[in-house]
Structures are given as structure tokens and as C-alpha cells.
């Protein structure tokens, strides 16, 4: 069962309760991070068994000074600060007191109900996914920490479903050729997938519409599939913000041959706040090798493959298509450890035990604040 984490400020009480999102096993704070926050003057409270699915039991928290409690509504009502992995639900926000602060992945552009509830309740909200991608915010970059783990796990998932090994193997009975892996997208997840697939011995080919990623791909041992960009490709802060249907069609034409020769295809392409771009239409799936595998990492936002299904593994035209709902949550221990460090670093940038700094023109604060004292300031 999923979990959410709560945080109280000024002798700050930190509380964790169960997350509402299905398939979630991560927690926002680990015992080690709670210990650090308590030393900084914050006070931590935890709902009974809140860390269980991330392999942190109540004893691990109480040992460092966390208080275990049971009632979710009471925790919410008392909280000055609420820390979570996933966006708060309108029902959770309704239990919070006016003037409290929420910090989590918010995905504000696709969560209007959450924004309206936050404004109505008179709280403030910081979105972890909106933290600017600048050098001094690297330790707060939860998108990257979680994507890194997801990229690793996607290769392991693909290897599990593939009916052959990855490396070249020479035996007395003959030689086994290495598996061919095609990775679509060379962001954080894609680069980790390249490194993992290469370590397992596969031949790796990579497609990305950002030409600057070519050097990174080749440094990891991958072969870059070049697709010349056009004016429709919009890049902001290292993310693709927009691309035309015409360009996507051209990209599909260039890489379809590589996909059809692949044993494993991993797709990682996302556009923040929008439906994931369609990279593998059904016609391409029909022409893929019998027994090949697709791991669609973008399935939560509609998917990069026309045949993928959310939270399901399906077989179509002889191809296994994996649509895992929450890949970072499949590694809950490591994912929670990294996220807890990200979000605690972010919190300590924004506040001390005595209150929030509210440095409204400071770049990280300005970029991540989406609701301030009941007023929506950013989508």
C-alpha cells in the first residue's frame, strides 16, 4: 500500500501517512533523513507502518526520535508543512490548516483540482518537479534521482521478459550473438538505461531529438541514431517542451528500421504537462521481431507505444509490451533514500526550524512555488 509523508514546521513535526496513489511504495522521508532534520530543530511524527513498503519499520524511526501516531486527519490538521511523494488529493488538502505548506511532486499543469483545493484552503504549495535545473539545485533534483533508478530498472525488466541473454557468448555448441537494444530518449533515464544495457553486454542504439546528447550517448558506448531536428522542436531547461506531428513522423521513419531489428526497445520520451509523444505506432509493432520486447516508460502519460497498456504487460503481434505503472517505486528502498535527500535539501533551502524565508525573487523559490497563501502563482 502506498504512503505519503507529512512535515510540521518550527520545532517541525514531520508526519507520514499512506499515499493515495496506486502502485506507490516510496516514502518521502527515511529514518536517516529524519535524524538529520531533528538535529536541525524539526520535530518528526510518523503514521504507524508508514515506511513498511519501503523496508523502514517503525522502530527504525523511533530510534532516531520520530514519534509514531495513528490518525491521519489529526496529523494533517496539525501540520505546518506536509511532505509527500505524490500530489496531495483535494480531500487531504481539506484537512490541512490555513497557512500550512505542502511540498511534493505536484505536476500542476495536469492537476487543476489540487490547485483549486489548495487555493480554497489558503495553503502554500511547492512543486518538486518545478525546481529549476541549475547547478546549485542538483541535490534537490528529484526528477533526475527517480529517473536514474527507473532507467536502470527498465533494462532489468526488459531482460526478464526477453527470451535470450544480452552478451555475446562463445561456447562449444556455437556462438550466441549479443542482444540489440534500442533506447528512445537520452535524458537521465535513457542514459542510465544505456549504461546498464552495455554493462550486461548488449549492443545499444539510441535516438534523441536533441543533437547535444550524441556525445553523452557515445561516451557510454551507445550508437547515436541521428534525426535532424526542425523549428518545431522546443527545448527548455534540458527538457523537450514541444514537437510537431510532422517531426515525429520523420523521426518514426528514420528509426523504425532500427526498432524492427531490435530485441529490446525502451522508450523514455516525456513532455512535461502534456501527453507523451507517440514514437512506436501499431504498424511498427507489427513489423518487429517475433519475441522482441518493448518497455514503455512513458505509459503513465499516455505511452510512447500505441500498443502499450497502463499497469499491464501484454503481447501483441508476437511482441511483449511492458507498461509498468511506477517504475521507481519498484525500487522503493533506494528511491525513498534518494527522494528523501532531495526533498529535505529543498526544505532546508526554503526554511529553518523557525519558519519559511519566503525569498520570492530567489530562483529556486520562484521557480517551484505554485500556490502562495491561497493564491495560484504558477501552472
For residue 98, report the phi and psi dihedrals to the nearest 5 degrees: -60, 135
Active site residues: 133, 138, 141, 144, 239
Q: Would you state the cell numbers that stand for residue 327, as one nine-digit string?
A: 517504475
In order, the DSSP letters of 350-362 are HEETTEE---TTS
Closest CA relative to residue 117, chosen from 378, 379, 377, 371: 371
- Using the 8-state DSSP alphabet, how is residue 320 labeled? E
Q: At what angle do helices 142-161 and 332-350 cross, to 10 degrees?
A: 170
Q: Would you state the cell numbers that stand for residue 244, as one nine-digit string?
A: 510537431
CB 254, CB 230: distance < 8 Å: no
CB 209, CB 187: distance < 8 Å: no
CB 297, CB 212: distance < 8 Å: no
**What residues contact 337, with CB distance under 8 A and at least 6 apart?**
30, 32
- Tell me how far apart the alpha carbons of residues 358 and 158 are, in angstroms, rounded to a whole number: 45
Amino acid at each position: 500500500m502506498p504512503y505519503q509523508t507529512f512535515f510540521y514546521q518550527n520545532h517541525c513535526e514531520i508526519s507520514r501517512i499512506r499515499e493515495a496513489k496506486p502502485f506507490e511504495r516510496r516514502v518521502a522521508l527515511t529514518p536517516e533523513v529524519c535524524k538529520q532534520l531533528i538535529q536541525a530543530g524539526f520535530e518528526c511524527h510518523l503514521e504507524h507502518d508508514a515506511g513498511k513498503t519501503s523496508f523502514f519499520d517503525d522502530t527504525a524511526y523511533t530510534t532516531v526520535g520520530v514519534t509514531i501516531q495513528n490518525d491521519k486527519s489529526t496529523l494533517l490538521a496539525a501540520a505546518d508543512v506536509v511532505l509527500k511523494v505524490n500530489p496531495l488529493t483535494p480531500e487531504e488538502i481539506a484537512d490541512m490548516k490555513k497557512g500550512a505548506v505542502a511540498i511534493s511532486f505536484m505536476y500542476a499543469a495536469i492537476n487543476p483540482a489540487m490547485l483549486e483545493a489548495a487555493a480554497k484552503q489558503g495553503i502554500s504549495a511547492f512543486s518538486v518537479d518545478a525546481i529549476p535545473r541549475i547547478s546549485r539545485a542538483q541535490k534537490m533534483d528529484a526528477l533526475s534521482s527517480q529517473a536514474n533508478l527507473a532507467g536502470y530498472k527498465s533494462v532489468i525488466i526488459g531482460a526478464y521478459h526477453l527470451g535470450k541473454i544480452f552478451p555475446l557468448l562463445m561456447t562449444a555448441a556455437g556462438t550466441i550473438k549479443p542482444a540489440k537494444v534500442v533506447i528512445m530518449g537520452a535524458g537521465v533515464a535513457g542514459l542510465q538505461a544505456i549504461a546498464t544495457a552495455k554493462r550486461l553486454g548488449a549492443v545499444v542504439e539510441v535516438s534523441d531529438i536533441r543533437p547535444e546528447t550524441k556525445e553523452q550517448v557515445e561516451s557510454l558506448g551507445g550508437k547515436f541514431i541521428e534525426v535532424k531536428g526542425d523549428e518545431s522542436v522546443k527545448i527548455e531547461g534540458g527538457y523537450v517542451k514541444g514537437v510537431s506531428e510532422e517531426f515525429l513522423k520523420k523521426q518514426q521513419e528514420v528509426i523504425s528500421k532500427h526498432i524492427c531489428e531490435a530485441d529490446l526497445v525502451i522508450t523514455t520520451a516525456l513532455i512535461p504537462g502534456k501527453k507523451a509523444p507517440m514514437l512506436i505506432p501499431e504498424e511498427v509493432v507489427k513489423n518487429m521481431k517475433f519475441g522482441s520486447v518493448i518497455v514503455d516508460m512513458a505509459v503513465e502519460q499516455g505511452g510512447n507505444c500505441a500498443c502499450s497498456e497502463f499497469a499491464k504487460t501484454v503481447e501483441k503481434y508476437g511482441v511483449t509490451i511492458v507498461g509498468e505503472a511506477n517504475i521507481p517505486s519498484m525500487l522503493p528502498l533506494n528511491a525513498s533514500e534518494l527522494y528523501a535527500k532531495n526533498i529535505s535539501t529543498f526544505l532546508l533551502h526554503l526554511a529553518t526550524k523557525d519558519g519559511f524565508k519566503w525569498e520570492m525573487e530567489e530562483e529556486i523559490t520562484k521557480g517551484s512555488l505554485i500556490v502562495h497563501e491561497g493564491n495560484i502563482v504558477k501552472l
